[in-house]
Chain A
Amino acid sequence: MTRRVAIVGVGYSDFRPATPDVAFHEMMFEAAVKAYEDAGVNPRKDIDSFIACSEDYWEGFSIFDEFVPDQLGAVLKPVCTISADGMYGVINAYLQIRTGAFDIVAVEAHSKASDIVNMWHVMAFAFDPIINRPLKMHPYVIAGLEMMKFLKDSGNTEEHCAMVVAKNKKNAMKTPYASYGSIISPEDVLTSETLFHPLKKLDASEFVDGAVVIVLAAEEVARKLTDTPIWIKGVGWCTDTPWLEFRDWSRAVYAEMAAEMAYKMARIHEPAKQIDFAEIDDKFSYKELQHMEALRLCRKGEAGLLVEEGVTERDGDLPVNPSGGFLGVGNPLEAGGLVKILEAVLQLRGEAGKRQVPKAEVAVTQIWRGVPTTSGAVVVLGRE
């Protein structure tokens, strides 16, 4: 099993905070058409298998699987849905191609967050019904608890978190698909409304609607389709315990383990040196710092320092979230991982325009499934 796999096409719909004018399937069609055009494939003839990623509670449908084939060109073809972030879909597509059963696989994920009227109630439904829900907590209490413990143990500060927000929102100003770009100072973040001390309003990303489709192909097919295949060099995923009572509140162990799995496969021994830029999960500001440390992009306790010194700026030595991350683009629910991969592919191809990072040969992308989970995935991508 040495078959290499590359990403040969990416496409996305118009990302906006609210999309009352289009249905989810019309958004998916837009993203799919663009991705297939980018890859130069006809889904009815060329694509062997389709993977859609969605969570029924976000969609407001039961068994959402049944609603995906038409708009992806997947009618009467092998289709499956993964109830997880899109990055898990890409990993599954990679493995499907590695088996030799399929040559071209498409992956889709989207967010219709604006369709959800009671977002916080839907999120709170993820708590244990017997011992956690009766306390009637807002789900972001979990983020506050974790931020508190992470900052205390790592030595990073609220100021560092505020710098992450300012950096990402500034990066987003040059990203066409970002909805929440702005020029603000760390001071603006620190003085924004305190929600769950130490978490402030601007430390949390806002939701956004949008769909992304990614096309993957086996090496021999990929080389025929494109001059710039972006190779999947390593994949990893991991889930920690769900118990809020005894999980590790200071480290993102799920991300550490997922990264080790992916790095081993990609033969990355010194991530800080071998990786050129990172697109990692920043649904909350402190998460970017915590994930940088989990992915060994810096030593424990030094993530904030790197941000402070400008190392993670777009033109720094190790750009982190040049897209603007979720703080700048918005949090697109299960499409989050595909947004990370989309940005990494555009950067690695050299197609990122005004936001192009100077050196882009190897990238790490990472996703976390959000509160209250301890689940996440990592994909390492490269030009060679």
Chain B
Amino acid sequence: MSEKIKEYPGHPLSEQDISTGKVLTTKWRPKARYMYAAGVAISKFLEELKNGRIVGRKCRKCGRILVPPRMYCEWCFRPTDEWVYVKDTGRVVTAVISYIAADRARLEKPEIIAVIELDGASPGMGILHKLGEVDPEDVKNMKVFGMRVKAVWKPPEEREGSITDILYFRPLKEGEE
């Protein structure tokens, strides 16, 4: 309320006002459905995930290996030249502990989401995925930065050519490459 207006007429809307039809309501469920064409590069990327591999594209001019793959190099503005397989291991670039689900509900078990630079890809390139088997404390105390991780894949028969064919990335074990 402002200084000049001490009281507005009426009362705030209640559930009852709506259920008894005192308030006009209109319902419209948008049926906006799309069939996104993944395109040349991402189709191959998904196909290879099904095979348990991560593929990128190399630009011969700047020498970068782009992951996820693209058919053009955004820096050199020319077509990329060849498919290159990169490893399913890498290094954490940044990470977050998410306590909230996509629908704003509180998660019972918080999730760790991370950007991972993959071995074999150019610096700063790789994958956005979840981290598993990582202590949230290691995120809070920033030990997660640079952490060496490896993909945990779904069993081959369950893969469907999706980013979720990788379940999550886990820390590399001692002596593991």
Q: Which residues of B contact A24 (CB under 8 A)?
A: 37, 39
> Which 3 residue pairs spanning A and B have beta carbons closest together?
A23-B39, A60-B34, A70-B74
- Judge whether A44 and B77 touch: CB under 8 Å: yes
Please report B residues at the A interface, Cβ cutoff 8 Å. 24, 26, 28, 30-42, 70-72, 74-77
Q: Which residues of A contact B38 (CB under 8 A)?
A: 23
Chain A 38-56 interface residues, beta-carbon cutoff 8 Å to B: 42-44
Interface of B is mostly: loop
- Judge whether A70 and B72 touch: CB under 8 Å: yes
The smallest C-beta distance from A65 to any residue of chain B, in angstroms, reads 16
- Judge whether A70 and B35 touch: CB under 8 Å: no
Q: What are 20 A-to-B residue pairs whose CB atoms are below 8 Å?
A: A19-B37, A23-B37, A24-B37, A24-B39, A26-B40, A29-B72, A44-B76, A44-B77, A57-B32, A60-B36, A70-B72, A70-B74, A71-B72, A71-B74, A75-B74, A114-B35, A117-B35, A129-B28, A133-B26, A134-B26
Query: What CA separation (Å) do A60 and B37 show in the bound complex?
Result: 12
- Judge whether A43 and B77 touch: CB under 8 Å: yes
Instruction: Give A47's nearest chain B residue, CB to CB.
Output: B77
Please report A residues at the B interface, Cβ cutoff 8 Å. 19-26, 29, 33, 36, 42-44, 57, 60, 69-71, 73, 75, 112, 114-118, 121-122, 125, 129-130, 133-134
Query: What CA separation (Å) do A285 and B166 show in the bound complex?
Result: 52
- Judge whether A23 and B74 touch: CB under 8 Å: no
The smallest C-beta distance from B146 to any residue of chain A, in angstroms, reads 26
A-B contact count (CB 8 A): 75
- Judge whether B41 and A26 touch: CB under 8 Å: yes
- Judge whether A121 and B32 touch: CB under 8 Å: yes
The smallest C-beta distance from B33 to any residue of chain A, in angstroms, reads 4
The smallest C-beta distance from B122 to any residue of chain A, in angstroms, reads 15
- Judge whether B42 and A23 touch: CB under 8 Å: yes
Q: Which residues of A contact B77 (CB under 8 A)?
A: 33, 36, 42-44, 73
Query: What CA separation (Å) do A60 and B28 show in the bound complex?
Result: 18
- Judge whether B74 and A60 touch: CB under 8 Å: no
Query: What CA separation (Å) do A44 and B167 show in the bound complex?
Result: 38
The smallest C-beta distance from A40 to any residue of chain B, in angstroms, reads 14
Q: Which residues of A contact B24 (CB under 8 A)?
A: 130
Do A26 and B31 form a contact, CB below 8 Å, given A129-B26, A130-B26, A134-B26?
Answer: no
Q: Which residues of B contact A21 (CB under 8 A)?
A: 37, 40
Q: Which residues of A contact B37 (CB under 8 A)?
A: 19-24, 112, 114-115
The smallest C-beta distance from A80 to any residue of chain B, in angstroms, reads 18
Q: Which residues of A contact B75 (CB under 8 A)?
A: 44, 75
Instruction: Give B73's nearest chain A residue, CB to CB.
Output: A70
The listed residue with most B CB atoms (<10 A of its CB), out of A23, A116, A117, is: A23
Query: What CA separation (Å) do A57 and B32 show in the bound complex?
Result: 8
- Judge whether B74 and A73 touch: CB under 8 Å: yes
Query: What CA separation (Å) do A19 and B26 show in the bound complex?
Result: 37
Q: Which residues of B contact A112 (CB under 8 A)?
A: 37
Given A21-B37, A42-B77, A75-B75, output 4 extra A-B contacts at Cβ < 8 Å: A29-B72, A71-B72, A115-B37, A130-B24
Q: Which residues of B contact A125 (CB under 8 A)?
A: 30, 32
Q: Which residues of B contact A69 (CB under 8 A)?
A: 74
The smallest C-beta distance from A115 to any residue of chain B, in angstroms, reads 5
